[in-house]
Structure 1
């Protein structure tokens, strides 16, 4: 582009920024038609038009267009005004008729304006009156500008147009400002903006549902935002060194099973009626406590020792004490799902009383079952534990 054509572009840029700073821009529709008026300042390449050529001219005019796509539009442009030659002052009427195709950057906003770029082509006409023959020449060039919707039905359009002209292969240009009246506007519905979901520990569970809000990064969690615990031992998988602990087993802070260090002997207060081996209903809770112990130490073996009071023959009481131990074992297996292979039974008869057999209360206490939970050798679960 020749040097004199730089001025229109510079002035167009200044005009765009000045108008942008004061315009109240609204969203421009995706599709619409328009009619409007404009005023432009056209600069001629005076060195190519001869010493009696034109310098510049202000051209008012009209325009109409159709934006048929969110990014594309077509515009027809006409403008006309009187101009005088530099030396002789001869009067002519200059008309400019153009058609242009524009690309709109509809997702971009510059100071509230939507920018566009396009190509234009048409005719520049010089009407010299009766004294001389009229001149017509082909023009083509580019458009650069920006638009803002300043009211419901009005769009402000400012820009610049450098053009090539046929006669003497000139490069000229103009800046313009137009006001368009919009009709038939349509826009694609804007999807509502979803509120931001806060998830401070980035585990995929929002804060409002996260019951474990400080989960370490990268740890797998459940729907509550808590670290997974596949074996249900209370130690999450990412800390669990023994991930297959039996259900209910007592574990340490590493999720590894704990073992009894020494035998435990407890009196199971399951009292029996005279000459009976059936467990009375009110003593079932005592067996529940024993079943819990066996779950905590799934490798421990249990010995059940049946006892009787001194009433009756010793041989009969021996058999009765064995039946009482077996009765407790059967209840543990059937009601608490204890593995029968872990339970050994024996009968002690009346040989180990814990109360005075001379009283009814003492004899009731002696009709009992003793529990011995055997300590098991702890296995080496991992090195340097």
Structure 2
């Protein structure tokens, strides 16, 4: 009797705990049981035994397909016909399988039965939980028991009522399958929302699936048509987004006067010589020819040599004073053959005593906005 009271107390304590998880299906049930014991089980009662017992069960459904329970049953066997009786109890654990993830199940377990002596049983059965109200279900079961020690066979039928704590009292139903998501042009916008189907691969689109018109370098040509991305903002571009160029000339002239019958450079640091040297440094791939000249008076052969000395003197200044490479400079004398002024005056003779040099560069430059 003390064992019965202890079992009932444990069940009551467990079911009263407020910490039962609401998302789990845990139940407590009570039942009445018809129990038919093997007639060879008791020597003192060599007749059919019929038990109209009762019991309690505490169970939990771990997944939609699997659950388990603890069962306790009070057994009152009576011989039929006759008046003999034996009282006892049965308790143990069952594993429960819900093959359709609904309310029907099969179960198997191990039990200990105490009547005139102790019996260790294995059991197998089928059952159904019938929903009758929110959280309430009717229990129906049939089971067979096998006594491992004496090879006896017992049978039972159960009718009861359970209350479910937490979980969903209705059987799980399969969630509706989502409609397939299709994005035919792979632009990241599904066809159902795509207002611009068949967008070209790689084109950036907005939330409607239409191309985003971008001009990242602000040259007036959209990125998807721009053959020259990242053009400087100062450049003017063509229809393909590429920088426009134009041909230009850059030139400089040098003229240096000399004293009569002299090849001495009077001012090697003159502004004109410095500007000319800077121009040559700006265009290091360009070479120059220094042309020397003389006035008309005097011997023509002498004047030719003097004009060449004047050209070479300027060449040496460019080399020594301004660091221009010698290989870039040539010097030639023309004597009196190329007079600037053919008058026979002191002014004309002064103008003709000179060197001349000229550089002209053809170059392509960017067209700016």
Structure 1 length as normaliser, TM-score?
0.37
- Larger fraction in helix: 1
* Structure of greater Rg: 2
